[in-house]
Structure 1
Amino acid sequence: MKGILYTGGELTDLVSFARLPSYLQAFLREQNGVVAYFGGLHLRGCVAEPSWHSLAEAWQGPAAFWRTYAQVLETDIPFGQDCAGNQFLLRGDAVLWLDTETGELADLEVDFKHFLFGAEKFPLDALGMEPLRAFQQSGGVLRPGQLLSIYPPSCMATTQQAPSLKAIGAPERLAWLADFHRQIKDLPDGQSISLKPL
């Protein structure tokens, strides 16, 4: 992996670790999670702290994705996320992608090993890094524990030329996305809405 900004320390959450498939355990033994591609991909680790890096927090914590998103199962493992907070989940051996704005779930039709291979070979496309690249070209930097806030949300058609991009704490971004999803999930496609600026 390129552009590594952070690697997790020692495996301290052995309860979560024991529940993982062997191939994910093998990966986490080598490096207990990582923030790579200059923030384009965050793979969570089995740690208690920092909480933004904790697999258990994302999987079973108060803001676990299955608590907010109807298509996510409690057994889906939220092993990683992209620069904007969309989630990569393991369901059996399949890698799924959760759009955290709309709640849509897509099967990427790869296993974990091939997901990593695709991210390594085609990071821009595989990880949806266009917004991060635009942010970096304007001098922005994502630090470990941060995600890219994209406003207005990507799922909205607007008259605005380019979205506003800024780095914010990962918990704050994920909470905003969950709240936005709750507000729009039952609206029909094409519904007009107005948002208060961030």
Structure 2
Amino acid sequence: MRGILYTGGELTDLVSFARLPIYLQAFLREQNGVVAYFGGLYIRGCVNEPAWHALAEAWQGETAFWRTYDEVAETDIPFAQDSVGNQFLLRGDAVLFLDTETGELADLEVDFKHFLFGAEKFPLDALGMQALRVFQQGGGVLKPGELLSLHPPVCIATTGTRKPTSKAVPAAARLTWLADFYRQIKDLPDGQPVRLKPL
């Protein structure tokens, strides 16, 4: 992996670690999670602190993804996220992609090993790093524990009168905003006008 900004250090959450598939345990033994590609990929670790890096927080905590998103099962493992807070989940051996704006879940048709291979070979496409690239070209830097907040959200069609913006925000704040946005739009029909308050 390139552009490594953070690694998780020592395994301190052995309860979560024991519940993981063998291949993910093997990866986390070598590096207990990582922020790579200059913030393009966060692979969570089995740690108690910091909360933004803790797999248990995203998997079983009060704001676990299965508690908010209808398509996510309690057994799905949210092992990673991209720079804007979309999630990569393990369901069995399959890697799924959760769009955290819309709640749509897509099977990427790869296993964990091939997910890592695709991210290494084609990071811009595999990790949807276009927004991060634009942010970086404008002089922005994404630090560990931060995600990009995009306004307007990607799923919203706009009149094009205002230029889209992005800024770095704490990961917890971004994920809370996305969950709230999803709850508000999930039952709206396509084409419904909405008013947005940016993060």
Deviation at 1:162, TM superposition (A): 3.5
Deviation at 1:194, TM superposition (A): 1.3
What is the match of residue 83 of structure 2? 83
What is the match of residue 151 of structure 1? 151
What is the match of residue 118 of structure 2? 118
The amino acid that maps onto 2:109 is: E
Whole-Å Cα distance in 1 between the matches of residues 198 and 108 of structure 2? 33
What is the match of residue 27 of structure 1? 27
Q: Gapped runs of 5+ residues in structure 1?
A: none
1:156-167 → structure 2 map (5 Å cutoff): 156-160=156-160, 162-167=163-168
Whole-Å Cα distance in 2 between the matches of residues 66 and 158 of structure 1? 30
1:50-90 Cα distance to aligned partner (Å, 9 max, x none): 00000000000000000000000000000000000000000
Deviation at 1:197, TM superposition (A): 3.8
Whole-Å Cα distance in 1 between the matches of residues 13 and 197 of structure 2? 39
1:122-143 Cα distance to aligned partner (Å, 9 max, x none): 0000000000000000000000
What is the match of residue 175 of structure 1? 176
Q: TM-score, normalized by length of structure 1? A: 0.99
Helix, strand or coil: the match of 1:149?
strand
The amino acid that maps onto 1:39 is: G
The amino acid that maps onto 1:162 is: K
Helix, strand or coil: the match of 2:168?
strand
Whole-Å Cα distance in 1 between the matches of residues 25 and 198 of structure 2? 42
Q: TM-score, normalized by length of structure 2? A: 0.98
Q: CA, structure 1 residues 17+197, in 2 after alignment: closer, same or farther (shift >3 Å)?
A: closer
Q: Give the RMSD, CA atoms, in angstroms.
A: 0.7
1:1-198 → structure 2 map (5 Å cutoff): 1-160=1-160, 162-198=163-199
Whole-Å Cα distance in 2 between the matches of residues 172 and 140 of structure 1? 18
Whole-Å Cα distance in 1 between the matches of residues 60 and 191 of structure 2? 34
Identity among equivalent pairs (%):
80
The amino acid that maps onto 2:176 is: A
